[in-house]
Amino acid sequence: MELKKSLAFAETEYRERLRRIRERMVKADLSGMLVHTPENICYVSGHQTPGYYYTQMLIVPVNRDPVIITRLFEQRNVDAFSWLTRAQSLAFKDTENPIAVIANAVRDLGLDKGRLGIEMSGFFLPIDKYMELKSLLPNATFANASGIIEAERVVKSPAEIAYIRQACRISEKGMQAAWDHCRAGISENELSGHIHKALVENGGEFPGLPVFIGSGHRTQIPHVQWTEKVIEKGDNVPVELTGVMKRYAGPLFRTFAVGPSKKMAEDFEVVKDQLEAAHAAIRPGVTSHDVDAAAKKAAAKHGRLASFTKRTGYSVGVNFCPDWGEGHIMDLKESDDRVLEAGMVFHTPMSLRADGDLAVAVSETVMVTKTGHEVLTNFPRKLIVV
């Protein structure tokens, strides 16, 4: 049986990305680039696998098509998901040294005596492997190429935005499942099961982070994950999740209250005001700092500025574990003078986690448009009492 291709985008879109990346490579005086970050490999080639705990590398020459190198066991993922042909795909057996295979490929491409860019800020090329690669390519000049592909990823194409919209619809289904099932007497495990069922049944892929669910005293723990704890009357239950479509994320955060709570309702208005102030500031030409300052001004109005200790938002798009965000590409944060452009997409989570208080949180996925912003997620923006 023939394996069918399953490309997320038309080959023309991948080639246009490659063209723009090569322009940046020329400006950086690179003859080629070695890419090992899973998100960047996916962005350029379409290849995806959760098996990136084994070495994988995309070699991007400045003047010819890329070549991808994977574990032999993973090579069919290239066949299925990438626009690259089998002739552009090399593989190593588990008994072979992948770094030696990569070095040989660099030589075969005639890049071993040039200025070779390599991602130096990624998670997936350990220092010892990098040093080994340098020793095997003594005539190459290695340069830091981190950020070259990310600079293209930060502004999404219409086709990418279409997938983010689909991811947002999946997020809404997952949050509706939380609303339908959250109640006193159910465990966090059970609630998580209902949410995951809704996410997957509605087309969701695996996210770069787990669904975050806690209740009561456990909500003081950042990035809390579900346990056997039973949800009780009076508990708060913040739920943060994302749908994923073709590896694109659209996160959403809401807080459920098991029974009415005046204090929780008041705290929710604080985070809601922060969120809406941030969104009101989002438009092309403003800086990351400007958006963060608007959210902090809203917090100060409520006397809660001291509780605002983190960034206002972060870029979202292609995601693989260990993150569903692209904060390393662009955050919305203090003292950041990067300028917003149409086509950027951010997740804007706001939370209050003061010691001793029951935490509340809210978020949306929001896109920068030509004239302002558009909130891509669509779910009641309120403290949800169940």
**Tokens, residue 237:** 């239950």
Q: What pLDDT was estimated at residue 356?
A: 73
Q: pLDDT tens digits for 218-276?
A: 999 999 999 999 999 999 999 999 999 999 999 999 999 999 999 999 999 999 999 99
Q: Which of 143, 150, 253, 241 is nearest to 198 (CA)?
A: 241
* Residue 36 φ/ψ region, left for φ over 0, alpha for ψ in the -120 to 50 degree band, beta for the rest: alpha
Q: What's the distance, CA 382 to chain centroid?
A: 25
Cα separation, 135 vs 328, whole angstroms: 29
Q: What pLDDT was estimated at residue 358?
A: 86
Provide CATH code, domain 158-385. Answer: 3.90.230.10
Give the E-state strand segments of the chain in sequence order: 32-35, 57-61, 67-71, 89-92, 115-118, 141-144, 212-213, 236-245, 248-257, 313-320, 323-325, 331-332, 345-347, 350-352, 360-362, 365-368, 373-375, 384-385
Distances (CA, A) of 247 to 142, 177, 242, 386: 30, 22, 11, 32
Q: pLDDT tens digits for 156-210?
A: 999 999 999 999 999 999 999 999 999 999 999 999 999 999 999 999 999 999 9
**Tokens, residue 152:** 């293209």
Q: What pLDDT was estimated at residue 2?
A: 84
Going by their DSSP bridges, the two strands 323-325 and 313-320 should be labelled as: antiparallel
Cβ–Cβ < 8 Å for 42, 247: yes
Going by their DSSP bridges, the two strands 350-352 and 360-362 should be labelled as: antiparallel
Cα separation, 142 vs 151, whole angstroms: 20
Helices (H) and strands (E) in the chain, counts: 10, 18
Cα separation, 321 vs 93, whole angstroms: 24
Give 367's strand partners: 345, 374
Going by C-beta distance under 8 Å and a sequence separation of 6 or more, which residues neighbour residue 316?
164, 242, 248, 249, 250, 251, 324, 325, 326, 345, 346, 347, 365
Q: Which of 28, 29, 33 is nearest to 64 (CA)?
A: 33
Cα separation, 148 vs 291, whole angstroms: 25
Instruction: Give the homologous superfamily in CATH for domain 11-152.
Output: Creatinase/prolidase N-terminal domain (3.40.350.10)
Residue with tokens 């989570």: 349
Q: How many CA atoms lie within 13 A of 377 on its CB side?
A: 35
Q: Which of 209, 171, 176, 178 is nearest to 193 (CA)?
A: 178
Cβ–Cβ < 8 Å for 345, 317: yes
For the chain, which residues make up each domain, given as ranges?
11-152, 158-385
Cα separation, 79 vs 163, whole angstroms: 22
Going by C-beta distance under 8 Å and a sequence separation of 6 or more, which residues neighbour residue 62?
22, 25, 26, 30, 31, 32
**Going residue by residue through the chain (386 aa), what tens digit of pLDDT does each one get?**
889 999 999 999 999 999 999 999 999 999 999 999 999 999 999 999 999 999 999 999 999 999 999 999 999 999 999 999 999 999 999 999 999 999 999 999 999 999 999 999 988 999 999 999 999 999 999 999 999 999 999 999 999 999 999 999 999 999 999 999 999 999 999 999 999 999 999 999 999 999 999 999 999 999 999 999 999 999 999 999 999 999 999 999 999 999 999 999 999 999 999 999 999 999 999 999 999 999 999 999 999 998 898 999 999 999 999 999 999 999 999 999 999 999 999 999 999 987 777 899 999 999 999 999 999 999 999 999 99
Cα separation, 269 vs 244, whole angstroms: 29
Cα separation, 110 vs 119, whole angstroms: 20
Q: How many CB atoms lie within 10 A of CB 95?
A: 6
Cα separation, 73 vs 197, whole angstroms: 29
